[in-house]
């Protein structure tokens, strides 16, 4: 007779199931502890970033002062805020100007009443510094002062880059600076500038602007720039160590050039479209060669002649020589000239005709 196996009784420890309430409590506690640790790390990152931003701004202004710039702000009113979402540094009564020229004067002075610097202290945003430039400001040039505000004026850049920031983004909309007595002020309807350092060593840039009235302009053509588009790049790791005479010499000797892949300029009667390249000569002055398509050339030459920018014989030669290149559209409209433009020996040439002497650039 076969033996019937005795039924085994399972131990309670083997069949125990954790109550749902205990399980939820354990997960909640773990989640809470993780959030506490992350919060403490974030708070630490916020305070560390705030200290770095404060010291970075102080060092930047001190470095500019050491190089002859006029650069200061009201230190007693400077403040750090923005916790917990961002780190903000607010500077008031800022004054900034380049070193004095040969006349012992600053070429221009910019005085915003307030600048706000902000950083979001997260791993993927920590390198981006945002600067709000829209507060009331005064811009002085040629003994003339203009004051006003902008609807939008935001500058973003990679503040941890060495030398020229690896990324720059500037957006301005409806900037209006009025003069106390002159009817014409400084106005920019729209301006956008972006630049980024590429993996191949090129530094790409893109500038677009619409309906801008500038504080200075070319005599004869006025101060109104209706439209501008400039896109291209600078090669050979341009300004990787900053912009200085020594770095520019190093860049030039390495074969550095600026390639303008697209130019579009509507300035007074002049409409210019083209492309070309520019470099620096032995005296660090620009030299360049461009291929351009121009409308309004004769009107522009006449305006420059009346203003004394172009001499009478040069203007006459330009109109005679380049007039043979003009093409009149079959359906009417302004004549178009396709010709090379060159910059050499601190002069601007349209074809073989020298038009304008260029000022010396002092780096």
Q: Give, for all 363 residues of the chain, the pLDDT tens digit.
A: 556 665 666 655 556 566 777 667 767 777 777 777 777 887 888 899 899 999 999 999 999 999 999 999 999 999 999 988 899 999 999 999 999 988 889 999 999 999 999 999 888 899 999 999 999 999 999 889 999 999 999 999 999 988 899 999 999 999 999 998 888 899 999 999 999 999 998 999 999 999 999 888 888 888 899 999 999 999 999 998 888 899 999 999 999 999 999 999 999 999 999 999 999 999 999 999 999 999 988 888 889 888 888 888 888 888 887 778 788 777 767 788 898 999 999 999 988 888 888 888 887
Number of domains in the chain: 1
CB–CB of 347/354 below 8 Å? yes
Distance CA 127, CA 295 (A): 44
* Residue 141 resides in a domain: yes
Q: What are the two backbone dihedrals, phi and then psi, of residue 213, each rounded to the nearest 5 degrees?
A: -105, 115
Cα torsion for 47, 49, 51, 55, to the nearest 10°? -170
CA distances, 86 to each of 42, 49, 53, 120 (Å): 11, 10, 12, 5
Distance CA 323, CA 317 (A): 9
Tell me, what's the pLDDT at 322?
76
Furthest-apart CA atoms within the chain: distance in Å: 134
Q: What are the two backbone dihedrals, phi and then psi, of residue 66, each rounded to the nearest 5 degrees?
A: -65, -25
Tell me, what's the pLDDT at 215?
87
* Residue 217 resides in a domain: yes
Distance CA 132, CA 172 (A): 10
CB–CB of 133/154 below 8 Å? yes
Q: Retrieve residue 28's tokens.
A: 């909640």
* Residue 13 resides in a domain: no
Q: Retrieve residue 267's tokens.
A: 């300035």
Alpha helical stretches, state H, the chain:
20-66, 245-253, 297-306, 312-323
* Residue 18 resides in a domain: no
User: Which is it for strands 258-267 and 222-234: parallel, antiparallel or unpaired?
Assistant: antiparallel
Q: Retrieve residue 295's tokens.
A: 């409308």
Supply the DSSP symbol for 107: S
Q: 312-323 and 297-306 are packed helices; what angle lies between their axes, rounded to 10 degrees?
A: 170
Tell me, what's the pLDDT at 171?
97
* Residue 144 resides in a domain: yes
* Residue 210 resides in a domain: yes
Distance CA 321, CA 353 (A): 8
* Residue 16 resides in a domain: no
* Residue 348 resides in a domain: yes
Neighbours of 345 (CB within 10 A): 12
Domain of residue 55, residue span:
25-357
């Amino acid at each position: 007779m076969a033996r019937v196996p005795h039924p085994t009784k399972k131990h309670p420890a083997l069949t125990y199931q954790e109550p749902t309430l205990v399980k939820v409590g354990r997960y909640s506690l773990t989640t809470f502890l993780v959030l506490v640790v992350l919060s403490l790390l974030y708070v630490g990152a916020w305070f560390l970033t705030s200290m770095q931003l404060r010291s970075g701004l102080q060092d930047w202004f001190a470095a500019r002062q050491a190089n002859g710039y006029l650069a200061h702000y009201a230190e007693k009113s400077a403040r750090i805020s923005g916790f917990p979402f961002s780190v903000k540094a607010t500077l008031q009564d800022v004054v900034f100007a380049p070193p004095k020229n040969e006349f012992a004067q600053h070429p221009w002075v910019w005085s915003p009443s307030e600048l706000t610097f902000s950083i979001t202290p997260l791993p993927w945003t920590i390198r981006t510094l945002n600067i709000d430039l829209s507060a009331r400001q005064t811009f002085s040039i040629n003994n003339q002062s203009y004051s006003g505000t902008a609807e939008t004026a935001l500058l973003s850049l990679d503040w941890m880059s060495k030398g020229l920031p690896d990324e720059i983004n500037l957006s301005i909309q409806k900037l209006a600076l009025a003069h106390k007595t002159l009817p014409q002020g400084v106005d920019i309807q729209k301006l956008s500038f972006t630049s980024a350092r590429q993996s191949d060593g090129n530094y790409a840039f893109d500038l677009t602007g619409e309906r801008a009235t500038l504080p200075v302009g070319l005599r004869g053509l006025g101060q109104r720039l209706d439209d501008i588009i400039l896109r291209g790049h600078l090669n050979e790791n341009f300004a990787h160590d900053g912009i200085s005479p020594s770095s520019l010499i190093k860049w030039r000797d390495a074969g550095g050039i600026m390639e303008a892949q697209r130019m579009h300029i509507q300035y007074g009667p002049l409409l210019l479209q083209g492309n070309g390249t520019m470099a620096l000569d032995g005296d660090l002055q620009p030299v360049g060669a461009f291929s351009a398509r121009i409308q309004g050339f004769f009107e522009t030459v006449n305006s420059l002649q009346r203003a004394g920018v172009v001499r009478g014989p040069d203007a006459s030669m330009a109109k005679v020589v380049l007039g043979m290149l003009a093409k009149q559209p079959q359906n009417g409209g302004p004549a178009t000239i396709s010709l090379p433009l060159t910059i050499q020996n601190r002069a601007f040439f349209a074809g073989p005709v020298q038009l304008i002497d260029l000022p010396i650039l002092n780096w």
